[in-house]
Structure 1
Amino acid sequence: MSTDFQSARVALGARLRELRAEAGENGKDFAARLGWQRSKVSRLENGKQTATADDLTAWAAAAGVPEQAADLASRLRGLESQQRSWRRQLTAGNRPVQDRYVVEYQQTATMRGYEATVIPGLFQTPDYARHLFAKNAVVMQSPRDTEAAVAARMRRQEVLYEAGKLFRVLLWEGALHALVCPREVMAGQLDRLVGLIGMSTVELGIVPLGAPLELTPKHGFWIFDEERVIVETINTELSFDSPDDLALYGRVWDALNAAAGYGAQAHRLIARARHLIAPA
């Protein structure tokens, strides 16, 4: 269990204890009111057990504050969002994280993704990925297992060739020009993107610089089977699965998609970046 998850569970337990105390009940009497074992009340209050939504509704009612049920439910959703610190995930290097993604992508049939600053791992060349992993290890001060991480990322890409998969990916045009690697490596990466256009499992759209937009380009995110959203920040990976969050990110993706170019237009945008970034 991650430290982030446990910290959130302890915080929820502290709030439950506070509501019980405000009701003037000791643990034994409160458990009796709920029809629970005393040990369950103790485990929930001390962050040793994860409450269910029904547990929280019953707790609020027993404490005489049923209106607090919504707040408790929100705290539970936040706990279930699985906020995971990158520094903790990268303690053993980049490869374990990439291995986890291999499994997650294998279990996903349809994905909608958007990236504003980087070529997605699913489309990266080994050389491009190698430079990203090396630089990330320096910034995050994590073990430098670059070659093992690159190999795992390439294994992830095997899903692109599996029948029945569909990856609908949007890129902000600026990502095509971001020199996070030598020019010759970026040129090869852009050639790789051209080769993806027309694949039966890939729909690649480019949101052009200067295109009229319904919203700002925002941050990158990925929607797995319309069931879960993954958002990566500099220090944290966030996972959301509530209907409201899924609907929100779906609307954002749709708005960006409305401004995106596909097919020949996407090819021209990549070719323009390839020309500008070509090695001297």
Structure 2
Amino acid sequence: MPASPSSHAQAAREVIAGRLRELRVEAEITGHELAVRCGWSPAKSSRIERARTAPSDADIRAWCAACGAHDQVRDLVAANRRADRLYVHWKKLHRHGMRGAQDEVVPLYERTRLFRVYCSNVVPGMLQTEAYATALLSAIADFQGTPDDAPDAAASRVERSEVLHDGRHRFVLLIEEAVLRHRVGDPATMAGQLGYLLAVMALPQVSLGIVPAGAERRVWPLEAFYMFDDRQVSVELLTAGVNVTAPGEIAVYAKAFSRLTGMAVHGQAARALISEAIEFHG
């Protein structure tokens, strides 16, 4: 695994910062003069140029104008927006509630043919019941201090999960056994959620594996990650979501997923673990 999940995003920001510095040097102006032309403090120019502060689109336009490089605005703004998508803070994404974040990924779900999902902490979003999703999203909103629109967001999440019943998609999902024991919501919510896992396992397009608590670890428990074909991996951290698009990094996640699959149980053995968890919550 990469040393830091946000390393690729930071690398993208450093490329943008380096290009901005080149424009300033080519214009033969100092950082102080650039700041004066932009109406900023010199410290702001320095932070942007050293990739300590991410520039806004307006900052890039002002920088290019100060350097007489208007033709560079479009490409730099596009690169800056791509970098923003690589590392997205949850509080920023959820500042107006969580429903928008659920709706936003619908096109990605619709165009993905093979989903590979690993979750070590909660039931994967696409397998969540509405009651479980409501309880989980409400807890997230409370922790983040963001607006709690959990019922609407949960309804959107369940609607988004209709792709499970679309024959054009395949789903290979792995969860740690601990996920079955972590109580989200009340006992009735857990009973409904675990019962739904048993039902969804019968779908021919779905493969659900469970890594038993007693399995010999060849891969340690990781952050939850979602693989969308071989184009993108979305990693869920406590404070942010990381979208990995570099082929080399995607290949590392694919390797981890393959090894985790080898540790998991499926079929009747997985059903037995779920049934035990239902009794545990009873």
Query: Which residue of 2 is the match for residue 250 of structure 1?
Result: 254
Structure 2 distance, partners of 1:277, 1:270, is: 11
Deviation at 1:132, TM superposition (A): 0.8
1:94-122 Cα offsets, whole Å, 9 max, x none, are 10001112332112111100000100111
1:18-57 counterparts in 2 under 5 A?
18=21, 26-27=26-27, 39-40=68-69, 43=72, 48-50=76-78
CA separation of 1:39 and 1:20: change in aligned 2, threshold 3 A:
closer
Are 1:110 and 2:114 an aligned pair?
yes
Deviation at 1:91, TM superposition (A): 1.1
Q: Report the TM-score, using the length of structure 1 for normalisation.
A: 0.76
The alignment partner of 1:96 has SS state of: helix
Structure 1 distance, partners of 2:104, 2:201, is: 27
Structure 2 distance, partners of 1:113, 1:249, is: 10
Deviation at 1:43, TM superposition (A): 4.5
- Residues 117 and 227, structure 2, Cα contact 8 Å, conserved in 1: yes
Query: Which residue of 2 is the match for residue 132 of structure 1?
Result: 136
Aligned length: 238
Deviation at 1:264, TM superposition (A): 0.5
The alignment partner of 2:86 has SS state of: coil
CA separation of 1:10 and 1:113: change in aligned 2, threshold 3 A:
closer
Are 1:181 and 2:185 an aligned pair?
yes
The alignment partner of 1:239 has SS state of: strand
Deviation at 1:201, TM superposition (A): 1.6
Are 1:222 and 2:226 an aligned pair?
yes
Are 1:98 and 2:102 an aligned pair?
yes
CA separation of 1:17 and 1:102: change in aligned 2, threshold 3 A:
closer
Structure 1 distance, partners of 2:100, 2:159, is: 13
Which shifted more, 101-110 or 151-160?
A: 101-110
Structure 1 distance, partners of 2:153, 2:205, is: 24
Structure 1 distance, partners of 2:110, 2:193, is: 23
1:196-233 Cα offsets, whole Å, 9 max, x none, are 11211210000000101212011110110111000011
Q: 1:231 aligns with which of 222, 232, 235?
A: 235
Query: Which residue of 2 is the match for residue 71 of structure 1?
Result: none
Deviation at 1:84, TM superposition (A): 0.8
- Residues 126 and 154, structure 1, Cα contact 8 Å, conserved in 2: yes
- Residues 81 and 240, structure 1, Cα contact 8 Å, conserved in 2: no
- Residues 126 and 150, structure 1, Cα contact 8 Å, conserved in 2: yes
Q: Report the TM-score, using the length of structure 2 for normalisation.
A: 0.76
The alignment partner of 1:209 has SS state of: coil
Structure 1 distance, partners of 2:161, 2:177, is: 22
Q: 1:208 aligns with which of 201, 206, 212?
A: 212
Deviation at 1:136, TM superposition (A): 1.2
CA separation of 1:260 and 1:7: change in aligned 2, threshold 3 A:
closer
CA separation of 1:9 and 1:208: change in aligned 2, threshold 3 A:
closer
Are 1:263 and 2:260 an aligned pair?
no
Report sequence identity in percent.
Answer: 28
1:49-198 counterparts in 2 under 5 A?
49-50=77-78, 79=83, 82-198=86-202
- Residues 116 and 219, structure 1, Cα contact 8 Å, conserved in 2: yes
Deviation at 1:19, TM superposition (A): 5.7
- The runs of 5 or more residues in structure 2 that have no matched partner are 1-8, 30-64
CA separation of 1:7 and 1:269: change in aligned 2, threshold 3 A:
closer
The alignment partner of 1:211 has SS state of: coil
The alignment partner of 2:94 has SS state of: helix
Tell me the amino acid that sits aligned with residue 15 of structure 1.
Answer: G
The alignment partner of 1:92 has SS state of: coil
